[in-house]
Structure 1
Amino acid sequence: MLLLFIILLLGGCWSKRELNELAIVTAFGVDKSDEFVEISVQIVNPSQVASNKASSFQVPVFTYHAKGKSLFDAMRKLTTLTPRKPYYSHAQIIIIGEELAKEGMNSILDLLQRDPEGRSEFNIIIAHESTAQEILSILTPLEDIPASKLFKSLKDTEATWGTTESVILDDLVQSLGHIDNSAVLPTIQIHGDADAGKSSSNVEKIKSPAQLQYGGLAVFKNYKLIGFLTEEESRNYNFLHNNIKSTFETLACPEQGKISTEIIQSSTKVTGRIQHDIPSITIQLDIEQNVAEISCPLDLTKPETIDALNKATSKQIKESIERTIQTIQQTYQADILKFGEVLHREDYKAWNRIKKDWSTLYPELEVNLVVDVQTKGVGTATKLKLNKK
């Protein structure tokens, strides 16, 4: 009888919601609008995406916008516009407008963490030189759902070029919770005619009038956007952050022409030292590369040619990274590379003595960088002869 009574309490469908009662949100954005917060949601049009015979006069997604005194207020007001209740658990992307990011994201991150319907696996992106609403209004070719394009492009760029970094909510909150509350986020911007990108003509032409493209990384400190890294600086950041899976390097030939190499592996080791309460950082960067393209006469069968190529690549990467470190330390003064965490792990007693002065020590922190490049593959064409005109 006890078992029968317990079975009566195991009914699990009392709060069920059918799919045809929900509006599936694939991405949403948040902007600052005067004294209000504006939310924009991208909702899937299921009849257009799922059907094998999709009608040509309907778009695959719809966007809705609502304003409120807070993000929570705006999300509730959105229900007055949508035909179904927005369901956020399938969102892949959240886009933060540049103006709102400069003002601070404390309250937004707090709500996203508390919301029981949301998940923390979505990627957070900053809209650069445009609003989140404009980004979410652009229709994209090949991918019916623009949010899928944003997600896949982010992952592909991170894997093959190294200028972006995918950051989910948990990663961002953890980074901002470190010593100086600093972090980075990828940026997205519109190239072309934003108004034309909102219509179906954007996916009906060979060359789309408007395209979404990832740029460098946005730098945050104390939950506020303080600046942007260029694409070169963003790639260097990923070198230092041990987040380069594959990228390329272009060097000048000894006389004329270019050499392009494919970096196939990169490993970074960061160590710290505090001596007489003066901190320093040492970075060892080991890189493996293949020769991808040559436009000058070189004999790659000679060891001295490979040795010269290794040294030239090492020198170029080292000089570029050193400029980036200087920009991060002195221009932004944000410890996005978590050097403070390294020093804390290496010598926590000495760190406890200097941590109160970290904001003044960090800009002048000594960073010693060692770059070692090894060429592994040169291809089958080891000798290249060019006709001289």
Structure 2
Amino acid sequence: MKRGIFILLILCIVLTGCWNRRELNELAITLAMGLDKIDDEYVVSAQVVVPSEVSMKGGKGTTPVTLIQGRGETVYEAIRKMTKSSSRKVYPGHLRMLVISESLASEGIGHPIDLISRDWELRSDFYVAIAKDSTAEEILNVLTPLETIPANKMFNTLKVSEENWAATVGITLDQLITDLISNGKEAVLTGIIVTGKQELGSSTENVITVTPSAKIKVDDLAVFKGDKLVGWLTEDESRGYSGITNHVKNTVGTISCPGGGRASLEVLSFKSKVKGKVKNGSPEADINVKIAANVGEIECSIDISKAESVEALEKLYEKAVKVTINDSITSVQEKYETDIFGFGNAIHRSYPNEWKTLKNQWNQHFTEMKVNIKVDVKILKTGTVNNSVVESRKD
């Protein structure tokens, strides 16, 4: 009897299969997806890998990706309708980029994101971006020379730009959903644009020339109020946002010297802390920024071997950062009236009881709140040359 039960258990393990198993040759591996809306219908574009063109053995010389599309009254319906033109089922399990058109984002991204967040096949670590001044389909149609797969190009460019320039922010699906449902912080997304001759971007000639006819470029930040896009930040305002929200990993800061010329600092560390407080019923925020930097370039007559010269550069950059952050806040308060910086969350953490009365009209309170900014810059290294090479030659 025991032997029979043992054999039955072994057979259960051996014969168990995976109910949702898929063969690789039955799937269309999708690395980027675009969402547009035309005539009250959603248009979903899937950038799908052509296996034969990305294999080690080499392909037939055609494009490494193809675009599969579907139209429907809902995003879910549009995705299913892709099967009308594809011999394989679209599989988004390796998605790297979700691109939403600017026009659709202006109407609201809540419904499309609802579907995307429910799909069990999707991971949530892909980036979400906005197609600026074009459709998502047009963005996904551009072939890229440096990366074989355009989706990888967009993903890596966004990542590298965030880490080295700080005017863009890589927002994953998880972060976007968190911001959309939060009372104390509104969402932002990075814009993606096509420069050059957009109509030539889908041709293989775009990847075999030194200067491509069309290029994909990450741009500034899109501002949301609720789930609707309401405007765009400038590059400086986008960098101010990154500074406030601790998205600056490494960047370059350029300042004007008192006697003319400019100096550039390489920012190695940029840490900001936002503390919310309530005074006499009115919300305020304190922003404390600490920056560590090296001197990268000097184009003015200043001797950085002297301590007072280094201190002068530190003070100049402190002032420049403070102006950038303040201008970013003021612009959003006046033009968009939407708290993308998360000051509401800071108030909620420090004053939970007061937050209960503030949260229902928070964006209105945000436009009127006072923000105090303190910046501390420390220059760690000045390089091996004390004076500007050009200025030394003039002397």
The two structures have a TM-score, normalised by structure 2, of 0.95
Question: Could you tell me how far 1:129 is from its partner in structure 2?
Answer: 0.2
In the other structure, the counterpart of 1:295 is: 299
In the other structure, the counterpart of 2:394 is: 388
In the other structure, the counterpart of 1:4 is: 7
Separation (CA, whole Å) in 2 of partners of 1:16 and 1:347: 51
Separation (CA, whole Å) in 1 of partners of 2:177 and 2:12: 38
Tell me the SS of whatever aligns to 2:67: strand
* Amino acid across the alignment from 1:20: N
Tell me the SS of whatever aligns to 2:338: coil
* Amino acid across the alignment from 2:76: F
Separation (CA, whole Å) in 1 of partners of 2:126 and 2:171: 8
Tell me the SS of whatever aligns to 1:182: coil
In the other structure, the counterpart of 1:89 is: 93
Q: Find 1:43's aligned residue among 41, 48, 55.
A: 48
Matched, 1:16 2:21: yes
Question: Greater shift after overlay, 236-245 or 253-262?
Answer: 253-262
Tell me the SS of whatever aligns to 1:387: helix
Per-residue deviation, residues 9-67 of structure 1 (Å, max 9, x unmatched): 441234321111111111110101111100111110111101333332x1111112221
Matched, 1:323 2:327: yes
* Amino acid across the alignment from 1:275: K
In the other structure, the counterpart of 2:160 is: 156
Per-residue deviation, residues 206-256 of structure 1 (Å, max 9, x unmatched): 100000001111111111111111111111101000110001111122223
Separation (CA, whole Å) in 2 of partners of 1:256 and 1:362: 38
**Pairs aligned (count):** 388
* Amino acid across the alignment from 1:21: E
Tell me the SS of whatever aligns to 2:79: helix
RMSD: 1.5
5+ residue gaps, structure 2, are none
In the other structure, the counterpart of 1:102 is: 106
Tell me the SS of whatever aligns to 1:140: coil
Q: Find 1:32's aligned residue among 37, 42, 49.
A: 37
Alignment check: 8 A CA contact 1:193 1:209 kept: yes
Superposed counterparts of 1:230-241, under 5 Å = 230-241=234-245
5+ residue gaps, structure 1, are none
Tell me the SS of whatever aligns to 1:244: coil
* Amino acid across the alignment from 1:50: S
Superposed counterparts of 1:1-389, under 5 Å = 1-10=4-13, 11-56=16-61, 58-179=62-183, 182-384=186-388, 385-388=391-394
Instruction: State the percentage of identical aligned residues.
Output: 39
Per-residue deviation, residues 107-156 of structure 1 (Å, max 9, x unmatched): 11111111122221111110000000000000000211000101110110
Tell me the SS of whatever aligns to 1:65: strand
Alignment check: 8 A CA contact 1:181 1:222 kept: no
Separation (CA, whole Å) in 2 of partners of 1:59 and 1:144: 9
Tell me the SS of whatever aligns to 1:133: helix
Separation (CA, whole Å) in 2 of partners of 1:93 and 1:3: 49
Separation (CA, whole Å) in 2 of partners of 1:136 and 1:356: 39
